[in-house]
Amino acid sequence: MKRQILVLTEKTEGGEWIAITRLLTAFKETYPSVSYRFVTLTTRKYVRRKLGFIRDLVNYFKYARLKIKTSVESQKVDTILVSDYLWALAALSVKPKNTRLFFLFHGLRSVVFKKLTDIDYKQLLTKFFERLAWLLSDAIIVPSVEAGNYVLTNLFFKNKIKLFIVPNIVPKAFFKVTSNTKKKRCYTVMYSGRMDKYKGLENLIPAFSRVVLDIPKAKLIMACPLSSVNGDEERLVKSLINKHHLETRVRIIKGLTIKQLATFYHKASVLVLPSEIEFAPLSVLESLASGTSVIGTNVGNVGGLLNKLDSNLILTTNSPEMIYKKLMLFHSYSETKKRILGAKAITLAGKFSEKRAVRSFKKVFDS
């Protein structure tokens, strides 16, 4: 199988970059004749002035189009992988006729409208261009059934798209448990992921402050990819930590390597993911692979996984009261039950193997 793949991306340490890199690495190991290269585009920045958003969209489109055109012309490419609507539209305007464009859907570029004040012309434009990019792509690749359903319910011309499920990969490092990664006796709660809006962190901190009142030695570890930390959200989280006097109980760690992150998962008692929107979070799969149970909201594929693990660990809401309730429930479980859940978690994560992902990815090229 011979393929020349061009990947358009912003090189960050977030879940999307990690998922794409893991997939392509595994794919090339299976098919050595495959070659791929990344073209890194600068992060978009928008001004707040009236109509500044439209001007910035146009300018960024021109920039992306020129960079993609140069990359396509400098070396033969038969496939373009893209995860951003603006990159997709720019690529479609310059790509050779026989080059196919696959859209990797790992998350939204637009916000979810939860109230009327969320709606503005910027978000409406973003949603329109997102859906246009999906529709014009040769195929859409999603990491879960739930993500696929989201795409389908947001498109009018469903019969015109090809949609494929390629599950995210959990590296072997997370499955490896050594004598140095035994669970600690103290109750260690872990959050892993972006420090951003809609992650429920403003509810997690107050909930954990109540846990500490019942379990004084409890700890909260927040592991965040270095380049995916929202400054405003970090300031909010730190202010809540100070407000609830949790400076010695909460530890924020940024930029962990895979090996370091796996060690933290192994040592944690439980992972908490109180997000308001997810499609197939890597943190849940990595935690399960490490034998660490998960408490999470019923979003994306999280609810389906937790139903198979322990439905009592699903957060019906991400309120501080509900998070506190579930954290205390898990703490009350016997050590035997926790070990059984740990073994069950590893079995669940085993379905997200490199072999399965590669097989699914190949189907996209064969279509």
Nearest to 266 by CA among 323, 315, 229, 223: 223
Residue 86 predicted with pLDDT over 50: yes
Q: What is the pLDDT of residue 255?
A: 85
Domain ranges of the chain: 4-169+353-366, 172-349
Range with the lowest mean pLDDT among 112-116, 161-165, 189-193? Answer: 112-116
Question: What is the spatial distance between Cα 341 and Cα 322, in angstroms, rounded to a whole number?
Answer: 21
Of all residues in the chain, the percent with pLDDT exceeding 70 is 90
Nearest to 328 by CA among 183, 187, 184: 187
Longest dimension (CA), the chain: 64
Residue 324 predicted with pLDDT over 70: yes
How would residue 41 be classed by pLDDT, with cut points 50, 70 and 90? confident
Ordered alpha helix ranges (H), 215-319:
231-243, 258-267, 282-289, 302-309
- Per DSSP, the three-state class of 49 is coil
Q: Position of tokens 């073994």?
A: 343
Q: Residues 201-254: pLDDT tens digits?
A: 999 999 999 999 999 999 999 999 876 667 888 999 999 999 999 999 999 999
How would residue 110 be classed by pLDDT, with cut points 50, 70 and 90? low
Stretch 11-22: mean pLDDT, rounded?
Answer: 76
Over the chain, what is the mean pLDDT? 89
Q: What is the pLDDT of residue 115?
A: 59
Ordered alpha helix ranges (H), 75-95:
85-92
For domain 4-169+353-366, is the CATH number 3.30.70.120? Answer: no
Cα–chain-centroid distance for residue 54? Answer: 28
Q: What is the pLDDT of residue 228?
A: 65
Residue 282 predicted with pLDDT over 50: yes
> Domain spanning 172-349: which CATH class is it, in words?
alpha beta
Residue 87 predicted with pLDDT over 60: yes
Residue 152 predicted with pLDDT over 50: yes
Residue 135 predicted with pLDDT over 80: yes
How would residue 48 be classed by pLDDT, with cut points 50, 70 and 90? low
Nearest to 63 by CA among 47, 46, 87: 87
How many angstroms separate the Cα of 78 from the Cα of each of 61, 83, 113, 138, 362? 22, 17, 37, 12, 14
Q: What is the pLDDT of residue 177?
A: 60
User: How many CB atoms lie under 10 A from the CB of residue 172?
Assistant: 11
Q: What is the pLDDT of residue 181?
A: 45
Does residue 360 contact residue 164 with C-beta atoms inside 8 Å?
A: yes
